[in-house]
Amino acid sequence: MSPEPGPGTRLDPWFGSYAKRTDGLKVSETRALFAVANRPEVVSLAGGMPFLDALPMDLIAKITSELINTEGTVALQYGSGQGHPLMREKITEVMAEEFITAHPDDVVVTTGSQQALDLVTRVFVDPGDVILAESPSYVGALSVFKSYEAWIEHVAMDADGLVPAALEETIARLKAEGRRIKFLYTIPCYHNPAGVTLTVPRRAEVLEICRREGILVVEDNPYGLLGFDGQVTPAIRSLDADGVIYLGSFSKTMAPGYRTGWALAPHAVREKLVLASEATILCPSQASQLSIAAYLDNFDWRGQIDVYRGVYRERCQTMLAALAEHMPECDWTVPEGGFYTWVTVPEGINTKTMLPRATTALVAYVSGVAFYADGQGGRQMRLSFCYPTPDRIREGVRRLAGVLSKEMELVNLFGPHTEGLAPDVQNPAPDIA
């Protein structure tokens, strides 16, 4: 059937038919890059892919084949919308590492924590509602928030994470404007993209402010166990069971291919999340859940996390040393874990317009603009050290330094490059009663 003539265009006959909530959807900065960044000649400091070569593949193959041989009809069948009881039990053991006490009944297994983000937003956010998010914040979360037509309000962060005074001021201003704040979205450990960690005293302060103001905290913590020194900072959820929804994931501590994450939510919220999840996916993959449960049972998974920590620690040190050697005119954060450092380039350079020249020089990064809802970030970029080997990291930073110095020459000759840089502003919030 061909569409009625009228609202469409020659390029997209359904142009006029899309729901309004798709207005905020656009190709992510990371996706647009992926095709180029994945070519072998390019050193990609762009993607956040875990280094899976560090996994015991032979053991995982054995566990998987045993699972299918012994429990194939369960593993390959539909399952519970909330997730397999065994998986939920195991998830509470993993969260205990972050000092969280929880009951398996309050865990909802999801298709990666990305789906948990979707469910939480779906359950809480109406168009125009405000979500507070760090400045900058995770690009994948911003996409979810935009797809539900939320208004994203960034809150300042520094080397110690979210700034409590800025949080207080932002809440007061928004409340005075009559805006409805639905939750604070925070990535407290080894932030994506900023690389910083919310200090312990600040965790208590942030929680205290949110409690006082009646604002839910959504704690997204996929990197929490990946501190380079093996220390684990108690999760915000460990301080408050009623005011925090905690999101976790096996993507970084094991492997993203299983697409398994979870939400731990106060009882009543949990019920809504399960209903929303059933309406979306019926149930998460049983095969993935049972494979992960078997892995956790049969393998020293804590030891494996230590292996990952060692790999990422070395790569982070390599990257920071290379930045100090080749890009001293820039500033960067010093991560204590996770995958990323956040680099600020000299004034006049725009990391978005520079990107094509970087890829031509066979190095890729993600421009800072991807991590803001309001067009900031032109002087920043996210560099990932998780995937390339130390040699490739050194080479990538060397190439990037070459691109930067040429860019500086251009800026000195012609002034800052602003062409084509229309600010990326959000949809205006609808009138709020």
Residues that bind ligand PMP (CB under 6 A): 48, 112-114, 138, 140, 187, 192, 220, 222, 249, 251, 256, 261
Residue 153 or 220 with smaller CB distance to ligand PMP: 220
Q: Give the CB-side neighbour count of residue 189, counting CA atoms within 13 A.
A: 25
- Mode of pairing for the β-strands spanning 43-44 and 363-364: parallel
Q: Which helix (H) or strand (E) holds 292?
A: helix 286-298
CB of 418 to ligand PMP, least distance (A): 30
Residue 151 or 258 with smaller CB distance to ligand PMP: 258
CB of 250 to ligand PMP, least distance (A): 7
CB of 183 to ligand PMP, least distance (A): 15
In this chain, which residue has its C-beta nearest to ligand PMP? Answer: 112
CB of 89 to ligand PMP, least distance (A): 19
CB of 111 to ligand PMP, least distance (A): 7
197, 232 Cβ separation under 8 angstroms: no
Residue 132 or 187 with smaller CB distance to ligand PMP: 187
CB of 118 to ligand PMP, least distance (A): 10
Residue 113 or 197 with smaller CB distance to ligand PMP: 113
- Mode of pairing for the β-strands spanning 244-249 and 331-332: unpaired
Q: Hey, what's the torsion of the CAs at 271, 219, 172, 169, to 10 degrees?
A: 180
157, 194 Cβ separation under 8 angstroms: yes
Residue 48 or 243 with smaller CB distance to ligand PMP: 48
Residue 48 or 81 with smaller CB distance to ligand PMP: 48
Picking from 75, 109, 397, 406, the residue whose alpha carbon sits closest to that of residue 265 is: 109
CB of 340 to ligand PMP, least distance (A): 9
What contacts 75, CB < 8 A, 6 or more positions away? Answer: 67, 68, 286, 287, 290, 291
346 exposure class (CB count in 10 Å sphere: 0-12, 13-18, 19+): middle
Q: What are phi and psi of 247, to 5 degrees?
A: -115, 130
Residue 192 or 353 with smaller CB distance to ligand PMP: 192
Taken in order 375, 381, 385, 387, the sign of the CA dihedral is positive
